[in-house]
Chains A and B, each alone.
Chain A
Amino acid sequence: AQSVAQPEDQVNVAEGNPLTVKCTYSVSGNPYLFWYVQYPNRGLQFLLKYITGDNLVKGSYGFEAEFNKSQTSFHLKKPSALVSDSALYFCAVRVISGGYNKLIFGAGTRLAVHP
């Protein structure tokens, strides 16, 4: 079955340290992958996407993600975390299911950056 998984419910990191939020996927064909962030009582904000080309994708707010086809992963990274990065992060992938094209989201990973 086509799916996307975020294996960690929560990630804790100290401010200034690098952070990684993990995402793995299972789709037919070439994947279109996205990362979004959600702050409390807000909608989702787009961070970055992988369509094709360079495996390292750079996005908003200093975030980047690495597409790894052999490991079917698309982990979100940032070299130096900020307290303001604390939020809920969603990985998403385009799938064709039942004849319909739709974006499916992982369960989300809560990132907590401590001062």
Chain B
Amino acid sequence: KAGVTQTPRYLIKTRGQQVTLSCSPISGHRSVSWYQQTPGQGLQFLFEYFSETQRNKGNFPGRFSGRQFSNSRSEMNVSTLELGDSALYLCASSRGEEYNEQFFGPGTRLTVL
């Protein structure tokens, strides 16, 4: 069974630009969660999508948004990039119950200059 895939793996942007990251979950998984990982803040939960609806969200500003498509693939968008948005963005998929483990993709390394 194919794992979670994320594209692109690396991205360099400048302040003020916007970026879209993509995540393809494991086949059959309906839940996709996004996390931001930085050395200073660790792993921070951004939001979770389940059956095309945002089901849970973390404490990030509205510049961070996402969506999920009918095939469970998900995209995350960050508008008006700031230097502090530089991070590893991880996507994780699961079957959707709160006791299910999540399976993580390799991440997208975003650098904002």
Contact = CB atoms under 8 A, between A and B. Distances in A.
Contact of A102 (B56, B99, B107): B56
B56 A44 contact: no
A103 B33 contact: yes
Interface string A28-68: 00001010100001111110010100000000000000000
Interface string A59-91: 000000000000000000000000000000010
Contacts of B42: 105-108
Give the interface residue-count category, chain A.
20 to 34
A13 interface: no
A46 B58 CA distance: 21
A102 B4 contact: no
Contacts, number: 48
Contacts of A101: 55-56, 98
Secondary structure dominating the interface of B: strand
Contacts of B106: 41-43
Interface string B1-39: 000100000000000000000000000000001000000
Interface of A: 32, 34, 36, 41-46, 49, 51, 90, 94, 100-108
12 contacts: A34-B102, A43-B4, A44-B90, A44-B104, A94-B99, A100-B56, A101-B55, A101-B98, A102-B56, A103-B45, A103-B102, A104-B45
